[in-house]
Amino acid sequence: MSIAPGTKLGQYEVQEFIGQGAMGLVYRAFHVQLERAGAVKVLQALSPDPDTSARFRHEARAIAQMRHQNIVNVYDFGEFEGTPYMIVEYVPGGSLADRLDKGPVSRASALKYLRGIATGLDYAHGMGIIHRDVKPANVLLEKDDTPVLADFGLAKLLQGSSLKSMTGVTTGTPAYMAPEQVMGRQVGPAADRYSLATIAYEMLAGVIPFDGEALMELLYAQVHRDPLPPSVRDASLGPDVDAVIMRGLAKDPAARWESCTLFVDALAAALESPAATPALVAGKAAVLRTDALPAT
């Protein structure tokens, strides 16, 4: 469902379409009285039945309770002609995915991004909220490059959907999903930590852990195979970096780092070890996106 410019959603007026988001269409909107811009996410992936709408309201309230500089603020939520929508803070700097598409970032910048994401995730986990869809496209950047997590918790709203339907609405998700999530099991904070380790691998090695796999092979690999150590992709990375990231990508959730911040702290120390030689982080190579995969 598209929304025409000028449509009022609560106190916000839709101004223009700005892109396709994880769960549907995204529009820029404006609150005239507050002179504040917002981003409207129309969750087209959800059916407008009463149970789904109630689940959406419950999840939106939980997300709206969070106040953290690395988590996008929720301004409002409701329904438009039976379709759920959420109005969130408008972050002007594009996404981390956009930034990585432009080429290499320094290791210092990579650590800045990872640390911001980590503190936001740890804060949310402390409140009992799991993201479930951590990936570069869901990390927005402020003008000063501060990372801000978006679409927080919205993947839970698709918990009744099949994996095939999920991959159809969440671009790139399989490449960042923890093994337990691929298998349809209940996920906890460790699943978000796995996704964060995947982003770290991608920024340091230049590719996702299972690069070049078709969809079904990728899903199989997430559950059954270990990726190549990052130093195989980039020889300037040492065994200490390998050890930190491979622990983050452990198949067993209990074997991963106890928090996202501990993971980033360990990674920062490993990158400063003599075995890791100074170098630019590899440019983003062929990051897998589901819309480029063959139909299954």
Residues noted as catalytic: 133
* C-alpha Rg value of the chain to the nearest Å: 19
CA–CA dist 25, 85 (Å, integer): 10
Closest by CA position to 111, among listed 287, 286, 9, 264? 264
The separation between the first and the last C-alpha atoms of the chain, rounded to the nearest angstrom, is 25
Q: By three-state DSSP, how is residue 126 classified?
A: helix
Residue whose tokens read 């409207």: 40
CA–CA dist 281, 204 (Å, integer): 5
Q: To the nearest 10°, the Cα dihedral for 272, 208, 223, 136?
A: 90
